[in-house]
Structure 1
Amino acid sequence: MLKITPNPKFDAVVNVPVPGEKKAEKLTVTFKYMNTTARDAFLKAMNDQPKIDALMGIIEGWQGVDADFSREVLENLLTNYAGLDTLLFKAFFDEHHKALLGN
Protein backbone atom coordinates (compact mmCIF):
# COMPACT_ATOMS: atom_id res chain seq x y z
CA MET A 1 0.00 0.00 0.00
CA LEU A 2 1.24 3.47 -0.85
CA LYS A 3 1.94 5.56 2.24
CA ILE A 4 0.86 9.19 2.25
CA THR A 5 4.14 10.04 3.94
CA PRO A 6 7.15 7.88 2.98
CA ASN A 7 9.56 6.52 5.57
CA PRO A 8 11.82 9.28 6.92
CA LYS A 9 14.94 7.39 5.87
CA PHE A 10 15.98 4.81 3.30
CA ASP A 11 19.00 2.69 2.44
CA ALA A 12 20.90 2.67 -0.83
CA VAL A 13 23.95 0.64 -1.88
CA VAL A 14 26.88 2.62 -3.24
CA ASN A 15 29.60 0.71 -5.08
CA VAL A 16 32.88 2.40 -4.22
CA PRO A 17 35.83 1.72 -6.54
CA VAL A 18 38.97 0.92 -4.55
CA PRO A 19 42.33 1.66 -6.15
CA GLY A 20 44.21 -1.57 -6.89
CA GLU A 21 41.17 -3.79 -6.33
CA LYS A 22 39.28 -5.59 -9.08
CA LYS A 23 35.86 -5.08 -7.56
CA ALA A 24 34.19 -2.19 -5.80
CA GLU A 25 33.33 -2.27 -2.11
CA LYS A 26 29.64 -2.10 -1.25
CA LEU A 27 28.70 0.71 1.10
CA THR A 28 25.11 0.76 2.38
CA VAL A 29 24.15 4.33 3.16
CA THR A 30 21.11 5.40 5.15
CA PHE A 31 19.77 8.61 3.67
CA LYS A 32 17.20 11.04 5.01
CA TYR A 33 14.09 11.19 2.85
CA MET A 34 13.12 14.63 1.47
CA ASN A 35 9.83 15.52 -0.11
CA THR A 36 9.91 17.53 -3.33
CA THR A 37 9.76 20.89 -1.55
CA ALA A 38 12.63 20.02 0.78
CA ARG A 39 14.63 18.49 -2.08
CA ASP A 40 14.22 21.65 -4.20
CA ALA A 41 15.40 23.80 -1.28
CA PHE A 42 18.32 21.43 -0.70
CA LEU A 43 19.36 21.68 -4.36
CA LYS A 44 19.27 25.48 -4.26
CA ALA A 45 21.32 25.60 -1.05
CA MET A 46 23.73 22.89 -2.19
CA ASN A 47 25.72 25.23 -4.44
CA ASP A 48 26.33 27.66 -1.59
CA GLN A 49 27.78 25.18 0.90
CA PRO A 50 30.73 22.81 1.09
CA LYS A 51 30.03 19.29 -0.19
CA ILE A 52 30.66 17.85 3.26
CA ASP A 53 27.88 20.02 4.73
CA ALA A 54 25.46 18.96 2.00
CA LEU A 55 26.30 15.29 2.52
CA MET A 56 25.93 15.58 6.30
CA GLY A 57 22.47 16.99 5.63
CA ILE A 58 21.32 13.90 3.74
CA ILE A 59 23.23 10.99 5.30
CA GLU A 60 21.97 9.40 8.49
CA GLY A 61 24.51 6.57 8.75
CA TRP A 62 26.14 3.66 6.94
CA GLN A 63 27.18 0.03 6.96
CA GLY A 64 30.27 -1.37 5.29
CA VAL A 65 32.82 1.13 6.62
CA ASP A 66 35.35 0.19 9.28
CA ALA A 67 34.30 3.18 11.42
CA ASP A 68 31.04 4.63 12.67
CA PHE A 69 29.44 7.44 10.69
CA SER A 70 30.72 10.88 11.61
CA ARG A 71 31.70 14.08 9.85
CA GLU A 72 35.39 13.35 10.42
CA VAL A 73 35.21 9.83 8.98
CA LEU A 74 33.16 11.06 6.00
CA GLU A 75 35.78 13.77 5.34
CA ASN A 76 38.51 11.12 5.42
CA LEU A 77 36.60 8.90 2.99
CA LEU A 78 36.01 11.81 0.61
CA THR A 79 39.73 12.62 0.73
CA ASN A 80 40.80 9.01 0.16
CA TYR A 81 38.27 7.96 -2.50
CA ALA A 82 38.08 10.33 -5.45
CA GLY A 83 34.56 10.81 -6.73
CA LEU A 84 32.86 9.35 -3.66
CA ASP A 85 30.90 12.57 -3.12
CA THR A 86 29.42 12.24 -6.60
CA LEU A 87 28.50 8.59 -6.00
CA LEU A 88 26.76 9.49 -2.74
CA PHE A 89 24.75 12.35 -4.25
CA LYS A 90 23.84 10.15 -7.22
CA ALA A 91 22.59 7.35 -4.97
CA PHE A 92 20.49 9.82 -2.96
CA PHE A 93 18.82 11.35 -6.01
CA ASP A 94 18.51 8.04 -7.90
CA GLU A 95 16.58 6.52 -5.01
CA HIS A 96 14.22 9.49 -4.89
CA HIS A 97 13.63 9.28 -8.64
CA LYS A 98 13.22 5.52 -8.50
CA ALA A 99 10.51 6.02 -5.91
CA LEU A 100 8.81 8.57 -8.18
CA LEU A 101 8.89 6.05 -11.04
CA GLY A 102 7.31 3.37 -8.89
CA ASN A 103 10.50 1.43 -8.06
Structure 2
Amino acid sequence: MAAKFKLKPNPTFKADVTIPVPGDEPGIVTFTFKHRPIKELADLEKVEGKHISQFLLEITEGWALPDEFNQENVEILLDNYPRAGEAVMKAYYAELLGNREKN
Protein backbone atom coordinates (compact mmCIF):
# COMPACT_ATOMS: atom_id res chain seq x y z
CA MET A 1 0.00 0.00 0.00
CA ALA A 2 1.39 3.39 -0.96
CA ALA A 3 2.12 5.91 1.77
CA LYS A 4 -0.29 8.80 2.08
CA PHE A 5 1.25 11.87 0.49
CA LYS A 6 1.25 15.14 2.38
CA LEU A 7 2.57 18.56 1.47
CA LYS A 8 4.63 18.87 4.65
CA PRO A 9 6.79 15.78 5.22
CA ASN A 10 7.56 14.16 8.55
CA PRO A 11 10.28 16.10 10.38
CA THR A 12 12.51 13.02 10.59
CA PHE A 13 13.11 9.82 8.65
CA LYS A 14 15.28 6.75 9.13
CA ALA A 15 17.71 5.19 6.70
CA ASP A 16 20.35 2.48 6.86
CA VAL A 17 23.86 3.71 6.14
CA THR A 18 26.51 1.29 4.89
CA ILE A 19 29.84 2.31 6.40
CA PRO A 20 33.06 0.86 4.94
CA VAL A 21 35.14 -1.00 7.55
CA PRO A 22 38.81 -1.46 6.61
CA GLY A 23 39.72 -5.13 6.26
CA ASP A 24 36.18 -6.33 6.96
CA GLU A 25 32.64 -6.30 5.62
CA PRO A 26 30.88 -2.93 5.73
CA GLY A 27 28.84 -2.12 8.82
CA ILE A 28 25.23 -0.96 8.64
CA VAL A 29 23.98 1.72 11.02
CA THR A 30 20.45 3.10 11.04
CA PHE A 31 20.45 6.89 11.29
CA THR A 32 17.52 9.15 12.08
CA PHE A 33 17.79 12.10 9.74
CA LYS A 34 16.20 15.53 9.97
CA HIS A 35 14.16 16.46 6.93
CA ARG A 36 15.47 19.77 5.67
CA PRO A 37 13.78 21.78 2.91
CA ILE A 38 16.10 22.29 -0.06
CA LYS A 39 16.48 26.05 0.60
CA GLU A 40 17.49 25.42 4.21
CA LEU A 41 19.85 22.61 3.21
CA ALA A 42 21.54 24.87 0.67
CA ASP A 43 22.19 27.41 3.43
CA LEU A 44 23.67 24.71 5.68
CA GLU A 45 26.01 23.61 2.89
CA LYS A 46 27.33 27.14 2.28
CA VAL A 47 28.97 27.63 5.65
CA GLU A 48 32.71 27.64 5.01
CA GLY A 49 35.14 26.28 7.56
CA LYS A 50 32.50 23.95 8.98
CA HIS A 51 33.81 20.53 10.00
CA ILE A 52 31.96 17.55 8.57
CA SER A 53 30.93 16.50 12.09
CA GLN A 54 29.03 19.79 12.49
CA PHE A 55 27.22 19.28 9.19
CA LEU A 56 26.30 15.69 10.14
CA LEU A 57 24.88 16.92 13.44
CA GLU A 58 22.69 19.37 11.54
CA ILE A 59 21.19 16.70 9.28
CA THR A 60 20.97 13.83 11.78
CA GLU A 61 19.10 13.37 15.00
CA GLY A 62 20.39 10.01 16.18
CA TRP A 63 21.67 6.55 15.37
CA ALA A 64 20.97 2.96 16.31
CA LEU A 65 24.19 2.41 18.26
CA PRO A 66 24.62 1.82 21.98
CA ASP A 67 26.92 4.86 22.12
CA GLU A 68 25.27 8.23 22.78
CA PHE A 69 24.68 10.36 19.71
CA ASN A 70 26.70 13.53 20.31
CA GLN A 71 29.45 15.57 18.67
CA GLU A 72 32.27 13.73 20.43
CA ASN A 73 31.04 10.32 19.27
CA VAL A 74 30.35 11.56 15.74
CA GLU A 75 33.96 12.76 15.63
CA ILE A 76 35.14 9.35 16.92
CA LEU A 77 33.13 7.67 14.14
CA LEU A 78 34.70 9.94 11.50
CA ASP A 79 38.19 9.48 12.94
CA ASN A 80 37.97 5.68 13.03
CA TYR A 81 36.06 5.22 9.76
CA PRO A 82 37.27 7.91 7.33
CA ARG A 83 34.58 7.22 4.71
CA ALA A 84 31.71 7.29 7.22
CA GLY A 85 30.96 10.97 6.60
CA GLU A 86 30.66 10.39 2.87
CA ALA A 87 28.46 7.34 3.46
CA VAL A 88 26.11 9.23 5.82
CA MET A 89 25.76 12.18 3.46
CA LYS A 90 25.22 9.91 0.44
CA ALA A 91 22.45 8.01 2.25
CA TYR A 92 20.85 11.27 3.42
CA TYR A 93 20.74 12.81 -0.04
CA ALA A 94 19.58 9.54 -1.63
CA GLU A 95 16.61 9.40 0.76
CA LEU A 96 15.85 13.11 0.60
CA LEU A 97 15.93 13.19 -3.19
CA GLY A 98 14.18 9.84 -3.62
CA ASN A 99 17.19 8.08 -5.13
CA ARG A 100 16.99 4.86 -3.14
CA GLU A 101 19.15 2.00 -4.33
CA LYS A 102 17.24 -1.06 -5.46
CA ASN A 103 18.30 -4.50 -4.16
Aligned to 1:19: 22
Q: Which residue of 1 aligns with 2:33?
A: 31
Structure 2-normalised TM-score? 0.84
Determine the structure 1 residue equivalent to 2:81: 81
Alignment length (residue pairs): 96
**Structure 1: which 5+ residue stretches go unaligned?**
none
Q: When the two structures are superposed, what TM-score results if normalisation uses the length of structure 1?
A: 0.84
Which protein has the bigger helix share? Answer: 1
The structural deviation recorded for 1:9 is: 0.4
For residue 17 of structure 1, report the CA deviation from its aligned partner: 1.8
Q: Aligned equivalents of 1:85 and 1:31: distance in 2? A: 14
Partner Cα distance (1:83, 1:20) in 2: 13
**Which amino acid in structure 1 is aligned with residue 84 of structure 2?**
L
Q: Which runs of 5+ in 2 are unaligned?
A: none
Letter in 2 for 1:40: A
Match of 1:26, SS state, is strand
Identity of aligned residues (%): 32
Give SS of 2:97's match: helix
- Give a deviation string over 1:46-81, Cα, whole Å, max 9, x none: x44111111111110001x34121111111010000
Specify the code of the residue in structure 2 equivalent to 1:88: V
The code of the aligned residue for 1:57 comes to E
- Residues 1-44 of structure 1, C-alpha deviations (whole Å, 9 max, x = no match): 211100000111111122222x2111000010011211221222
CA distance in 1, matches of 2:32, 2:82: 21
| Cα separation, 2, equivalents of 1:19 and 1:50 | 23
